[in-house]
Amino acid sequence: MTSGLMNFLRACFQPGADGLVHTSSSDSVGRQDGLLWYKDTGQHVNGEFSMAVVQANNLLEDQSQIESGCLSMQDSGPYGTFIGIYDGHGGPETSRFINEHLFQNLKRFTSEHQSMSVEVIRKAFQATEEGFLSVVTRQWPTKPQIAAVGSCCLVGVICSGTLYVANLGDSRAVLGRLVRSTGEVLAIQLSAEHNVSIESVRQEMQSLHPDDSQIVVLKHNVWRVKGLIQISRSIGDVYLKKSEFNREPLYAKFRLREPFGKPILSADPAISVHHLQPDDQFIIFASDGLWEHLSNQGAVDIVQNHPRNGIARRLVKTALQEAAKKREMRYSDLKKIDRGVRRHFHDDISVAVVFLDSNLVSRASSVKSPNISVKGGGISLPTKTTPT
């Protein structure tokens, strides 16, 4: 290895003055501290933001991003903020694919329509789904298990004073809104979830598949679609969307006994539109790993009552403390558990807290601003790392 490359690697991974291992001397792309990645503060078109990711799986299955600036292929705009939380399952391939392609697809359709809209977002999801299906089709002969890899997909787009929230699966977006009469900040859930633990989602599945009495099954005290998966909508999971991928050489545990005609899972996102008000303070976007341990109001209270800098990291730490408490162990001991084994105690957790500056939110979407791109990271060091 050349001395130049060695010096570069040393600069990237040497401990900082605080004794922590950082991915770079600059905080522009975030920092890595063992299994925790974080970017404590940043500026987007509509205010400030904070991001954090903690890894539990051996390979990080969560991906996340914030893109701010131009939301189309043209310099003319519109300008705004894009937030994405992608909670993968079965492997990291689908969430990584979404992280690379969904925002680019959105920009392409925004350019075609020359504006942001529900239709643009829906088309971007559809193109991303079709793109991943092409990957599965191409890799099926040599890597058939990719047909059983999928991802939840939560997206927020802030443009022209409007917030669009699109969701597949069970990640969640929660708004913190100031109640002026009391001074409290109220938690308002913005996203609809697609997890069959929710009775209305089970009813939806049963109405979509009236001839299949086994469409939703209670297995080991957990409701699952076909006894296999808890979510009813996703990107990927092609083995439950196209019958030709639900056969050998796919592992037997994923194969259904009878072929199916129409897709069992859907990639059609639930999309809601919110016209932002001056009292709308911030939005928390997070994978279900956070919401397993924190209530909507509990998370909003933490954001409201602490400094903005590092607030996403604080939410992750609070969730981990709750996870440790549930297992009757100390938080300090939980932090010593390595990735892979850590999944028995909590899931990968991705959090983005996006603050709303009403003066910036109300600006026209034609007002130019610099492009900013931040993607949540995972550990890339050898498995045996210093516990953090």
Confidence of residue 22 (pLDDT cuts 50, 70, 90): very low
Within its chain, how far is the Cα of 158 from the centroid? Answer: 17
The CA distance from 322 to 341, in Å, is 18
The CA distance from 268 to 257, in Å, is 26
Within its chain, how far is the Cα of 259 from the centroid? Answer: 31
Confidence of residue 364 (pLDDT cuts 50, 70, 90): low
DSSP 272-287: EEEE--TTEEEEEEE-
Amino acid identity for residue 285 in this structure: F
Structure tokens at 97: 């694919």
Residue showing tokens 């680019």: 104
The CA distance from 73 to 55, in Å, is 33
Give the Cα-Cα-Cα angle 311, 156, 201 (nearest 5 degrees): 105
pTM of the complete model? 0.89
**pLDDT tens digits, one per residue of 142-187:** 999 999 999 999 999 999 999 999 999 999 999 999 999 999 999 9
Report CA-CA distances (Å) from 60 to 57, 66, 239, 340.
6, 18, 22, 9
87 DSSP β-pair partners: 62
Per the model's pLDDT, the better-predicted residue between 337 and 274 turns out to be 274
Within its chain, how far is the Cα of 292 from the centroid? Answer: 15
Nearest C-alpha neighbor of 189 from the set 208, 202, 176 = 176
Residues 73/104, Cβ–Cβ less than 8 Å: no
What residues contact 48, with CB distance under 8 A and at least 6 apart?
Answer: 41, 42, 308, 355, 357
Amino acid identity for residue 316 in this structure: V
**pLDDT tens digits, one per residue of 304-317:** 999 999 999 999 99
Other CB atoms within 10 A of residue 366 CB: 10
Question: Where is average pLDDT lowest: 7-21, 44-58, 97-111?
Answer: 7-21
Q: In the predicted model, is pLDDT for residue 200 greater than 70?
A: yes
Residues 344/327, Cβ–Cβ less than 8 Å: no
Per the model's pLDDT, the better-predicted residue between 27 and 349 turns out to be 349
- Exposed e or buried b for every residue in 37-58, given b needs 16+ CB within 10 A? bbbbbbebbbbbbbbbbbbbbe
The CA distance from 4 to 168, in Å, is 45
Residues 314/9, Cβ–Cβ less than 8 Å: no
pLDDT at 140: 97
